[in-house]
C-alpha cells in the first residue's frame, strides 16, 4: 500500500490563479521523493496541501489509506522543515524540538529519550540549551530537522531546507540528509528548485512545471529520458543543448539541418522514424572536441569558440552555432591541454555521440519522441 | 601548512595594529590640545546642539533643583522694582512634602498612581485586543484601522474638551442618555470617584491608538511560518496564541508599557482641561499639582521641589524597569 497518494489534486487561489492542476502521485513507504521545478511552479503549494496548511480546491489526499484532504495538520501526523527553519525564537533548542511532543502529551521520560536520540543523530547535543539566535545557519538547519525527527511522523516534508546555506555547507548537509534518511527510513518529500540537489538526494524525482507534473522517475531515468523539452533543459548541468531543425531522409542518408549547419546521422545514431521538423537535444558530455585527424567530420557540429570554463577536472567549452550557444564538456587530458591553446573565435568541430540523442516534437510542449 | 602561514600573517598584523594603537595613545597623552585641534571640525558641528541643550535643558534643570532648596514665592522672587529676597532653606521643602505638612503629596501621589496604572492597563488591553482583531484577514480592516486612529489624529485638547462636554452634568451626552432611560443622573465632574473615572476614560480614549499601532506592528513582524510550524507541531489556536503570539510580543509590550507609564505619569493637559484637578484636588496628579503650586499658589520653591521629585521617581522607575527587562529577556 502506498504511504501517500494524491488523486487529481488541484489548487486555485482567489478563484482565478490556478497553481496546481490534476496532480496524481503515489509514494510508497520509505521513499525519498524530490519535487523539483522552477520557482513559482507550485512546489511549496503542493507540499502545504499535503501538510494541511492549505485546502485543495479539488482532489483527494490519502495518508496510509486515510483521506486527510480536509483535516487539520494535527490529524495528519506529518512533520515539516521550513525554508527559513521557523524555529521558535523564544524557546531553547530542546524546547523547540520537543514542543510537538509536549502538545501530544507524550510522557516526560519518553520525550527526554527521544530528544537524546535525535540530538545525537544530528550531533547537536551540546546546543540543547541555546536559543536559535545563538546558532549558525547550519546548526539551525539541524535543529529544524531535529524538531521533525523527534516526532517520528508518518511523513517528512522538506521545503527547500538547504537554500539558505552556503554552497559548501549545502553539499555537506545533502550528504547528511541522505545518511539520515537511510537511518530513519521514513517516507520523505523534499522540495527544491535545485536540480542537482534533486538528482543526488532522490529515490524518485517528480518534475513539476506550470502546476503540472511533467515527469516522474528515478534520477537516471529523468536524466537519460526526459519526457519533454522543459524537463530536458531543467535537469542536468550544464543545460542540454537544443537545436530546432529539419530531419531529412535522402536515400539511406539522414541529415539534420539547423541554421546553416547540417549534421549527418552516422551509424548508431538514434533518429526518429519519419522525416520532419524536430527539436534535437544533445547533452554537453555527448559532444567532445574533435581530434585533429578526423576533426572535419560530417557527424560533427561546426562552431565558433566563445568561452572556456575551466573546472579543473574538465573544461566546459561554450561555442556559438548559428546564433545559438552550444556547450561541450571536455575531460580527456590531451584535449583539455589542446583547448587551452585556442582563442576566442577559433573554428572548432564537436563530434556527436549519436547513441544519446534526444528527439522532441517541434511544439510548445515538445514531447519526447 | 597553509593554515599556519595564514595564522602568522594575522598575528603579525595584529601586532602592527597594537603597536599603532599604543603610538596613538602616546602621542595624544603628549599633547591633548593637539588632538583637540585635529578634531576641531567635529566640535564646530556639535556646538549648536550642545548650546541649545545647555540653554533649554541643563540650565532650567539646574535652576529648578536650586529653587527647590529655596523659599521662593511671588513676594520674594523679585521684580522690576525690588530685588529678589528669597533664601536658601536647605531641605525644608522636601521635609514638608514627605511629612505632609501643608501639601497633599501622598494624596496626589496615590491619585497619580491610580490614574497612571489604570490608564496604561486599559491602553494595553484595548490596544492589544484591537490589534489582534485588525491583524485578522477581515473585510474592511483598512477602514477600521483608519477609524481607530482618529483619537490619535485629533489634537488632544480638542478631544479633552469634547469629553468634558460629554460629561457635563446638565447638557452632557451621558446624563441625557441616563435621563432618557430613567436612571439617576451622575455628577460626573464634581463627584470625586466619577471625576477620576472621567479623566481616566478620556485618557484611555486618547492613548489606545498608539498601543494598537505598536502591537499591530509587533504582530505583523511575527513570521507566518512560526504559526505554520506550530500548526504542524499540533498546536491549536489557543496554544498558538500563548506559545507564539504572547512571547513574540514581549519586547513590544515592555517598551510600550514603559513609555505609557512615563507619558501618563507626566500627563498634564488631559486633567487640566477635563477637571482642572477638581473637585478639591481629588483628580490632581503630580504634574497638575505642581502647576497649581507654581501658578495658582505662586509657591515656586515648593513647585520646584515637586518637579525634582517627579523627575527622581521616573528615574528610579526607569532603572528598576530596565533591570527587570534585562534579567527577563
Ligand atoms: N496564498 C496565495 N495566494 C495567491 N497566490 C499564491 C498563494 N501562494 C502561492 N501563490 C502563487 O502560487 C504560485 C506557486 O507558488 P509556490 O507554490 O510558492 O511556488 P514554488 O514553491 O514552486 O516556488 C506562485 O505564482 C504564487 O504567486
Ligand atoms: Mg517555494
- Out of A73, A84, A90, the one facing B232 most closely (by C-beta) is A73
Q: Considering only A8-22, B50-64, B167-181, which range has the smallest mean pLDDT?
A: B167-181
Q: Residue B300's pLDDT band (boundaries 50, 70, 90)?
A: very high
Measured between CA atoms, how close is B207 to chain A, in angstroms?
29
| Domain A2-228 coded CATH 3.90.320.10 | no
The residue that leads in pLDDT, B77 or B22, is B77
Q: Consecutive sets of 10 residues in chain A, 369 residues long: mean pLDDT of each?
A: 87 93 94 94 95 94 92 92 93 95 93 93 92 93 93 93 89 91 91 94 95 96 95 93 92 87 85 91 89 66 90 91 89 84 86 90 92
A147 CA distance to ligand 1 middle (Å) = 26
Query: What is the spatial distance between Cα A302 and Cα A349, in angstroms, rounded to a whole number?
Result: 5
Question: pTM of the predicted model, to two decimals?
Answer: 0.79
* Residue A251 touches partner B, C-beta closer than 8 Å: no
Pocket (CB within 6 angstroms of ligand 1): A 13-14, 17, 19, 37, 39-45
The residue whose C-alpha atom lies closest to atom 17 belonging to ligand 1 is A42
Picking from B232, B247, B252 by the largest number of A CB atoms within 10 A of its own CB, the best residue to mutate is: B232
- Out of B223, B232, B248, the one facing A79 most closely (by C-beta) is B232
The residue whose C-alpha atom lies closest to atom 26 belonging to ligand 1 is A40
- pLDDT tens for B223-273 read 999 999 999 999 999 999 999 999 999 989 988 998 899 999 999 999 999
**CB A81, CB A96: distance < 8 Å:** no
- Out of A51, A87, A104, the one facing B232 most closely (by C-beta) is A51
DSSP assignment of A21-72: EEEEEEEETT-EEEEE-STTSSHHHHHHHHHTSS--SEEEEEETTEE-TTS-
The CATH topology of domain B102-328 is MetI-like fold (1.10.3720)
pLDDT given at position B16: 45
The residue whose C-alpha atom lies closest to atom 24 belonging to ligand 1 is A40
- pLDDT tens for B148-165 read 888 888 898 899 999 999
Interface contact flag, B231 A52, Cβ < 8 Å: yes
Query: What is the spatial distance between Cα B322 and Cα B215, in angstroms, rounded to a whole number?
Result: 20
Residues of chain A positioned with their CB less than 8 A from the CB of B233: 99-100, 103, 147, 151
pLDDT greater than 90 at residue B222: yes
Burial A83-120 (b: 16+ CB within 10 A, else e): bbbbbbebbbbbbbbbbbbbbeebeeeebeebbeebbe
Q: Where are the domains of chain A?
A: 2-228, 241-361
- φ/ψ (deg, to 5) at A204: -135, 145
pLDDT given at position B13: 44
Interface contact flag, A72 B231, Cβ < 8 Å: yes
Query: What is the spatial distance between Cα A126 and Cα A132, in angstroms, rounded to a whole number?
Result: 13
Q: Where are the domains of chain B?
A: 102-328
A241-361 CATH? 2.40.50.100
A208 CA distance to ligand 1 middle (Å) = 13
The residue whose C-alpha atom lies closest to atom 20 belonging to ligand 1 is A40
Interface contact flag, B232 A80, Cβ < 8 Å: yes
Q: Which ligand ends up closest to the CA of A39?
A: 1
pLDDT given at position A334: 83
Interface contact flag, A103 B248, Cβ < 8 Å: no
pLDDT greater than 90 at residue B12: no
Burial of A208 (0-12, 13-18, 19+ CB in 10 A): buried
Residues of chain A positioned with their CB less than 8 A from the CB of B222: none
Amino acid at each position: 500500500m502506498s504511504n501517500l497518494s494524491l488523486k487529481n489534486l488541484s489548487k486555485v487561489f482567489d478563484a482565478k490563479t490556478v497553481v496546481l492542476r490534476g496532480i496524481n502521485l503515489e509514494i510508497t513507504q520509505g521513499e525519498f521523493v524530490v519535487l523539483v521545478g522552477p520557482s513559482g511552479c507550485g512546489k511549496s503549494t503542493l507540499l502545504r496541501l499535503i501538510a494541511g496548511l492549505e485546502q485543495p480546491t479539488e482532489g483527494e489526499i490519502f495518508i496510509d489509506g486515510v483521506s486527510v484532504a480536509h483535516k487539520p495538520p494535527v490529524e495528519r501526523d506529518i512533520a515539516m522543515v521550513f525554508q527559513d527553519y521557523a524555529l521558535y525564537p523564544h524557546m531553547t533548542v530542546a524546547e523547540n524540538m520537543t514542543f510537538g511532543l509536549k502538545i501530544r502529551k507524550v510522557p516526560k521520560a519518553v520525550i527526554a529519550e527521544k530528544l537524546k536520540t535525535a540530538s545525537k543523530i544530528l550531533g547537536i547535543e551540546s546546543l540543547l540549551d541555546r536559543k536559535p539566535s545563538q546558532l549558525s545557519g547550519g546548526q539551525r538547519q539541524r535543529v529544524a530537522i531535529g524538531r521533525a525527527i523527534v516526532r517520528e511522523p508518518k511523513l517528512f516534508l522538506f521545503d527547500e531546507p538547504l537554500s539558505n546555506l552556503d554552497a559548501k555547507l549545502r553539499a555537506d548537509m545533502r550528504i547528511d540528509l541522505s545518511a539520515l534518511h537511510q537511518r530513519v527510513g521514513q517516507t520523505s518529500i523534499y522540495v527544491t528548485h535545485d536540480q542537482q540537489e534533486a538528482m543526488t538526494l532522490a529515490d524518485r524525482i517528480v518534475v513539476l512545471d506550470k502546476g503540472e507534473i511533467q515527469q516522474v522517475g528515478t534520477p537516471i531515468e529523468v536524466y537519460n529520458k526526459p519526457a519533454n523539452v522543459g524537463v530536458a533543459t531543467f535537469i542536468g548541468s550544464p543545460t542540454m543543448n537544443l537545436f530546432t531543425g529539419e530531419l531529412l531522409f535522402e536515400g539511406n542518408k539522414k541529415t539534420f539541418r539547423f541554421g546553416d549547419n547540417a549534421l549527418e546521422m552516422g551509424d548508431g545514431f538514434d533518429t526518429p522514424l519519419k522525416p520532419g521538423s524536430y527539436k534535437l537535444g544533445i547533452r554537453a558530455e555527448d559532444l567532445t572536441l574533435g581530434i585533429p585527424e578526423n576533426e572535419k567530420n560530417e557527424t560533427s557540429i561546426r562552431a565558433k569558440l566563445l568561452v572556456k570554463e575551466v573546472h579543473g577536472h574538465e573544461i566546459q567549452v561554450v561555442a556559438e552555432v548559428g546564433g545559438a550557444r552550444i556547450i561541450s564538456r571536455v575531460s580527456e587530458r590531451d584535449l583539455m591541454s589542446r583547448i587551452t591553446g585556442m582563442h576566442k573565435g577559433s573554428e572548432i568541430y564537436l563530434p556527436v555521440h549519436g547513441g544519446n540523442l534526444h528527439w522532441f516534437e517541434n511544439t510548445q510542449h515538445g514531447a519526447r519522441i | 601548512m597553509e593554515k599556519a602561514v595564514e595564522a602568522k600573517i594575522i598575528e603579525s598584523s595584529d601586532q602592527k595594529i597594537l603597536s599603532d594603537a599604543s603610538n596613538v595613545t602616546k602621542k595624544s597623552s603628549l599633547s591633548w590640545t593637539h588632538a583637540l585641534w585635529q578634531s576641531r571640525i567635529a566640535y564646530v558641528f556639535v556646538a549648536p546642539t550642545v548650546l541649545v541643550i545647555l540653554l533649554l535643558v541643563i540650565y532650567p534643570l539646574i535652576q529648578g533643583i536650586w529653587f527647590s532648596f529655596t523659599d521662593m514665592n511671588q513676594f520674594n522672587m523679585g521684580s522690576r522694582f525690588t530685588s529678589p529676597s528669597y533664601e536658601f532653606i536647605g531641605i525644608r521643602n522636601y521635609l514638608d512634602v514627605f511629612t505632609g505638612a501643608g501639601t497633599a503629596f501622598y494624596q496626589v501621589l496615590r491619585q497619580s498612581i491610580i490614574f497612571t496604572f489604570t490608564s496604561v492597563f486599559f491602553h494595553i488591553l484595548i490596544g492589544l485586543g484591537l490589534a489582534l482583531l485588525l491583524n485578522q484577514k477581515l473585510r474592511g480592516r483598512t477602514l477600521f484601522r483608519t477609524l481607530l486612529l482618529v483619537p490619535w489624529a485629533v489634537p488632544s485638547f480638542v478631544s479633552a474638551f469634547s469629553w468634558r462636554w460629554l460629561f457635563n452634568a446638565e447638557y452632557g451626552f451621558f446624563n441625557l442618555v441616563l435621563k432618557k432611560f430613567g436612571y439617576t443622573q451622575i455628577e460626573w465632574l464634581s463627584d470625586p470617584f466619577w471625576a477620576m473615572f472621567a479623566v481616566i476614560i478620556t485618557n484611555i480614549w486618547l492613548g489606545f491608538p498608539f498601543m494598537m499601532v505598536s502591537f499591530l506592528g509587533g504582530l505583523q513582524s511575527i513570521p507566518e511560518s512560526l504559526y505554520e510550524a506550530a500548526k504542524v507541531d499540533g498546536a491549536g489556536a489557543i496554544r498558538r496564541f500563548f506559545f507564539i503570539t504572547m512571547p513574540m510580543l514581549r519586547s513590544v509590550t515592555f517598551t510600550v508599557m514603559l513609555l505609557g507609564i512615563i507619558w501618563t505619569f507626566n500627563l498634564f493637559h488631559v486633567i487640566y482641561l477635563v477637571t482642572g484637578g477638581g473637585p478639591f484636588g481629588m483628580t490632581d496628579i503630580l504634574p497638575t499639582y505642581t502647576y497649581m503650586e507654581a501658578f495658582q499658589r505662586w509657591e515656586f520653591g515648593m513647585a520646584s521641589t515637586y518637579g525634582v521629585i517627579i523627575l527622581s521617581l521616573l528615574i528610579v522607575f526607569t532603572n528598576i524597569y530596565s533591570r527587570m527587562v534585562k534579567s527577563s529577556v
